[in-house]
Amino acid sequence: MSQSIVVLAMHGSANSSVATPLDMLFVCNRIARSVASASAPRFTVQTMAADANVQSNSGAEIRADRPLGRVDEDCIVIVAAPLLSSAQDIDRFLKRNRAAIDWLRTHGAAVKQVTSHCAGVFALAEAGLLNNKRCTTAWYLADECRRRYPGIQVNESEILQHSGKVLTAGAGSANQDLCLHIVAHIAGRHYARLLAKYFLLNSARGSQLPYAVLTRQQINDQLVARAERWIHRHLASDFCIQDIADHVGVSNRTLIRRFQNDIGLSPQALTQNMRIEKSKILLETSDLSLHDIVVRVGYSDESAFRRLFVRQVGLTPNDYRQCFGHAAVSILRAGNLQSA
């Protein structure tokens, strides 16, 4: 029996968020014909939108197969996600797609499953489909999701998050993980394995943490901004809170309070985050030994650094370098050879 899939295209959706499920499920149907001699496709896929033509984030037109309307209860709805990075972008996206969000509010709870990834999760939340549920989203949008929807438990470390009939996924290419999950659940793991091989996908990754990048804090307190700049300049040094407080001319207690009020972090936490981020850059782009990297980011205890790195990144420093360092260093070397 063929599983009905509806891809809900929205104004501002990324082209890939529409094309990825169309392409991957098309290939799965082809695998079913060639491997299992299936007479019927595993998936029947249609695009749906509030308007006949919606405009993607790049300005390209996405032509929908059908308008908003009734769908079968056995249907899986994939909400095509936009590429957004700010609260203002999210506001514009939600306002522009009010009709589609209203449709989700009315029909989303009645279908077999509703899914989205990245910033598309905000459409599910706005429609009330994530109330008192767990979700994941792009790691860089997690705090904004918590701020807007305090009743939702946001687990940004996860690539995929199930909660009832709702399936959410993380940033960007997590749309591929979402499609693989649907294929595994509906057609079987064997099909998902073959599909992953066809598209050269890593179906084993389970966390967004190794991909997260430390984003610069929105600092409004000028004292905190001065302290942050001092920390950045002295990352390789062994300093304490008293040193930071002395530089900006306040007590330890005042410094901690100003940090918490402005950015929601202690000076120690910000320092740790900045040191881990610098170590990740060095692991990706240099051949320095771990010992040398640890020293360059201000640690004297390599074991303590390893424990902190695993806790924040989800991988050991060595595993992180294997995942992200080889390709980066190879590209740099190739560039050097070309310019020689």
Q: What three-state secondary structure class fits 200? A: coil
Q: Is residue 286 part of a domain?
A: yes
Where among 175, 210, 245 does a domain terminate?
Answer: 210
Q: Which domain holds residue 243?
A: 222-339
Q: Which residue has the higher pLDDT, 238 or 1?
A: 238
Distance of CA 209 to the CA centre of its chain: 9
pLDDT of residue 203: 66
Q: Is residue 243 part of a domain?
A: yes
pLDDT of residue 326: 56
Sheet of strand 43-49, all strands in order from the earlier edge strand to the far edge: 66-67, 43-49, 3-8, 76-79, 113-117, 166-169, 160-163
d(CA 203, CA 181): 9
Number of H helices, E strands in the chain: 15, 11
The verdict on 91 and 240 lying in the same domain is no
Return the residue matching tokens 């709702």: 166
Q: Is residue 179 part of a domain?
A: yes
- Does position 327 have pLDDT exceeding 60, yes or no? no
DSSP state of 120: G
The verdict on 229 and 99 lying in the same domain is no
Burial (CB count within 10 angstroms: exposed 0-12, middle 13-18, buried 19+), residue 334: exposed
Q: Is residue 216 part of a domain?
A: no
User: What is the token pair recorded at 220?
Assistant: 């409004």
The verdict on 110 and 233 lying in the same domain is no
Neighbours of 44 (CB within 10 A): 14
Distance of CA 123 to the CA centre of its chain: 15
Burial (CB count within 10 angstroms: exposed 0-12, middle 13-18, buried 19+), residue 105: middle
The verdict on 92 and 140 lying in the same domain is yes
- Does position 64 have pLDDT exceeding 80, yes or no? yes
Q: Is residue 217 part of a domain?
A: no
Burial (CB count within 10 angstroms: exposed 0-12, middle 13-18, buried 19+), residue 69: exposed
- Is the model's pTM score more than 0.85? no
The verdict on 65 and 138 lying in the same domain is yes
d(CA 170, CA 135): 9
- Does position 34 have pLDDT exceeding 90, yes or no? no
Residue 216 binned pLDDT confidence (cut-offs 50, 70, 90): low
pLDDT of residue 77: 98
Asked whether the beta carbons of 183 and 177 are under 8 A apart, the reply is no
Q: Domain count of the chain?
A: 2
d(CA 196, CA 330): 25
DSSP state of 140: G
d(CA 147, CA 129): 17
The verdict on 186 and 37 lying in the same domain is yes
Asked whether the beta carbons of 12 and 96 are under 8 A apart, the reply is yes
Measuring CA to CA, how many Å separate 296 from each of 60, 246, 273, 328? Answer: 46, 23, 14, 20
Q: What is the CATH number of the domain that holds 39?
A: 3.40.50.880
**What's the mean pLDDT when you consider all of the chain?**
90
Q: Is residue 148 part of a domain?
A: yes
The verdict on 189 and 228 lying in the same domain is no
The verdict on 174 and 277 lying in the same domain is no
The verdict on 291 and 158 lying in the same domain is no
Q: Is residue 184 part of a domain?
A: yes
Q: What is the CATH number of the domain that holds 317?
A: 1.10.10.60
Residue 120 binned pLDDT confidence (cut-offs 50, 70, 90): very high
Asked whether the beta carbons of 210 and 324 are under 8 A apart, the reply is yes
Asked whether the beta carbons of 282 and 275 are under 8 A apart, the reply is no
The verdict on 119 and 233 lying in the same domain is no
Measuring CA to CA, how many Å separate 284 from each of 211, 269, 280? Answer: 12, 23, 6
d(CA 136, CA 134): 7
pLDDT average, residue stretch 170-182: 94
The verdict on 99 and 227 lying in the same domain is no
DSSP state of 116: E
Q: Is residue 132 part of a domain?
A: yes
Where among 156, 187, 210 does a domain terminate?
Answer: 210
Chain segment 272-309, per-residue pLDDT in tens: 999 999 999 999 989 999 999 999 999 989 999 999 99
170 closest CA partner among 68, 259, 47, 81: 81
The verdict on 204 and 248 lying in the same domain is no
d(CA 104, CA 41): 27
Where among 210, 242, 274 does a domain terminate?
Answer: 210
pLDDT of residue 215: 67
For the chain, percent of residues with pLDDT exceeding 90: 76
pLDDT of residue 38: 73
